[in-house]
Amino acid sequence: MIVRRTILIKLSKDKCDVDYILRLMALTNLAYRGYEIWAPDLPKTIQHQLYGSFKNFKGSLVFGAVPKRWFAKTWVPLNTLRVYPDVSVKGDRGAPIVLDFRSNVIKLHQVCRNEPRYVVTIPMPKWVIDRVKEGGDIKFAMVGLKNNEPYLALTAERVVEPYQPSDYILAVDINSWSHGIAWGLIKNGNIIKWKSETPNLREIDNLYNLSVELSREYGKLKRLGLDKTVEGKRLWRKIKRLRRKLYAKLRDYSQKLVHRLVKKALRHRALVIIDDMIEESRRELLEMKLPSGLRKLYLMYTRRFVKLLVTQLEWYGVPYRFKRLPSTVCPICGHELTQVESRVMICENCGFKAPRDKVPMYWAIKVAQNLNFRQGFLAYERRGYI
Ligand SMILES: [Zn+2]
C-alpha cells in the first residue's frame, strides 16, 4: 500500500512573487482540463513540469484533486531531485525543487520569481528528515497560494503493509471537541485503560470571545471609515494575532493527541477502531447552544483530527476500522440508555451502568469479537473445513 503525508512550508513574500505563482496556478488549472498552453515569457523548465510529467502526477497528488471550477486556484505540481548524504541521487536532474540532504537545504529554482536562474534556498524541515528516516521519499512538491501567501507543499511517499494486530484494541471515540475524544485500550475483551481527553476549552472560548468582541469594535470603526487609521490598523493586527493563536492551540492539541494515540497503537500492535460520528457531534454542539462560529471551528477541527489520525495510522501501517460505537445504546441488551447526573448512562432494562464516554469502549469489545469471529470463520473456510 502506498501511503502519503504532506507538509506545508510558508515561503517569504519578499522572495516569492505572488502574481507569478498565480499565473502558474492558472496554467495548472488549464493543464488539468487537457489544454497545453506555452506562455512565451514563462520559463520552459517550469512549464515543462505541467505538460511533460503531468500525467505522472495526476494520480498521486494528495490535495491536487481535479479543480471543480474553471480558473479555480490549482496548486502547481513540480518534480523533485533528492541528493542524499552518501551522494546518491534520486529523481529528475532538471527538477526545479532540489532537496539536498548533505547540507539540509531545499532549493527552489525559478519557482518563486520569473527570472533566469532565480533560486530561493530554505532550510530542510525536520519533518522531511524524519519521514525519510522512516523510509519515505519526497517525490512530489507543489507550490501555490493559501490566503494569498505563497507555500511549498512536500509530499512524502512510502510503501507499507499494515501489521497483523495483536490481541490489543485501541478504540477511539470522536465526540465533538467540547466533550473531547475518548480512547480505550482493550485486551482480550477487558478494558485496561480508558480516558476522555479535552482541550483547554475555557482558554479557547476566551480567545474566541475576545476575537469576536474586537471584530465588532473593528466593524464599528469600519462603518465610520476609521478602519485605516493607526488605531484601526492596530486593532486589526490584534484580531489577526488572536485568531492565529486560537487556530494554533487547536492544531497543536490535535497533533499531539494524534501522535500519542498512534504511538500507543504501535507500542501494543493494536487494531484501532474509530467512531467518527460527525453528525452526532454536530447535534451535540447544537444542543450546547454554542455561538455558531465556535461550533464551526470545533467541527472543522474534529474533522481535521480524524483526517490527521487516519493519515498517520496509514503511514505507520497501523490497521484500523471505522465502526459505530454508540454511547446511548446498551452494549449488553441493545436497549436505549438513560443519562443520569454527571454523564453517567444506565440501562433500565438490564442494569448496565457506565460513564457516557466509556460506553463506546464496551461496544468496541463487541465489534472486535465480531471481527475476530469473522476472521476465524474465514480461516476455517480457507482450510476447507466449511
Ligand atoms: Zn441493557
Per-residue confidence of the chain (386 residues) as pLDDT tens digits? 889 898 999 999 999 999 999 999 888 888 877 788 888 888 888 887 877 665 555 554 434 455 555 556 788 888 899 999 998 999 988 899 999 999 999 999 999 999 888 999 999 999 999 999 999 999 889 999 988 999 999 999 999 999 999 999 999 998 766 777 899 999 988 999 999 888 888 888 899 999 999 999 999 999 998 888 898 999 999 999 999 999 999 889 989 999 999 999 999 999 999 997 766 666 776 777 777 788 888 888 888 899 999 999 999 999 999 998 988 899 999 999 999 988 899 999 999 999 998 999 999 999 888 877 666 555 555 555 54
Three-state DSSP string of 92-160: CCCCCEEEECCCCEEEEECCCCCCCCCEEEEECCHHHHHHHHCCCEEEEEEEEEECCEEEEEEEEEEEC
- Expressed in angstroms and rounded, the spacing between residue 341 Cα and the centre of ligand 1 is 18
Whole-number pLDDT of residue 220: 92
- Expressed in angstroms and rounded, the spacing between residue 282 Cα and the centre of ligand 1 is 26
- Expressed in angstroms and rounded, the spacing between residue 280 Cα and the centre of ligand 1 is 21
Residue 238 Cα to chain centre, angstroms: 27
Q: Cβ of 360: how many Cβ atoms within 10 Å?
A: 28
- Expressed in angstroms and rounded, the spacing between residue 334 Cα and the centre of ligand 1 is 6
Whole-number pLDDT of residue 62: 39
- Expressed in angstroms and rounded, the spacing between residue 331 Cα and the centre of ligand 1 is 7
Whole-number pLDDT of residue 12: 94
- Expressed in angstroms and rounded, the spacing between residue 337 Cα and the centre of ligand 1 is 7
- Expressed in angstroms and rounded, the spacing between residue 333 Cα and the centre of ligand 1 is 4
- Expressed in angstroms and rounded, the spacing between residue 120 Cα and the centre of ligand 1 is 64
3-state secondary structure of 243: helix
User: In the beta sheet, which residues pair with residue 182?
Assistant: 173, 196
Whole-number pLDDT of residue 33: 76
Q: How far apart are alpha carbons 36 and 28 in whole angstroms?
A: 10
User: In the beta sheet, which residues pair with residue 168?
Assistant: 187
C-alpha cell at 141: 512538491
Task: Count Cβ neighbours within 10 Å for each residue of 137-160 and write b for 16 or more, e otherwise.
Answer: bbbbbbbbbeeeebbbbbbbbbeb
C-alpha cell at 321: 476500522
- Expressed in angstroms and rounded, the spacing between residue 352 Cα and the centre of ligand 1 is 5
Of 65, 66, 53, the C-alpha closest to 139 is 53
Of 174, 166, 171, the C-alpha closest to 191 is 171
- Expressed in angstroms and rounded, the spacing between residue 62 Cα and the centre of ligand 1 is 45
Contact of 102 with 85, CB cutoff 8 Å: yes
- Expressed in angstroms and rounded, the spacing between residue 255 Cα and the centre of ligand 1 is 36
- Expressed in angstroms and rounded, the spacing between residue 348 Cα and the centre of ligand 1 is 7
C-alpha cell at 185: 485500550
Q: In what order do the strands lie in the sheet with 337-340?
A: 337-340, 344-347, 353-355
The H or E element spanning position 294 is helix 292-315
Q: Cβ of 302: how many Cβ atoms within 10 Å?
A: 24
Q: Cβ of 297: how many Cβ atoms within 10 Å?
A: 19
Whole-number pLDDT of residue 332: 93
N residues, the chain: 386
Q: How far apart are alpha carbons 359 and 62 in whole angstroms?
A: 36
- Expressed in angstroms and rounded, the spacing between residue 332 Cα and the centre of ligand 1 is 5
Q: How far apart are alpha carbons 107 and 266 in whole angstroms?
A: 35
Q: How far apart are alpha carbons 75 and 369 in whole angstroms?
A: 45
- Expressed in angstroms and rounded, the spacing between residue 344 Cα and the centre of ligand 1 is 14
- Expressed in angstroms and rounded, the spacing between residue 355 Cα and the centre of ligand 1 is 14
- Expressed in angstroms and rounded, the spacing between residue 40 Cα and the centre of ligand 1 is 73
Whole-number pLDDT of residue 50: 77
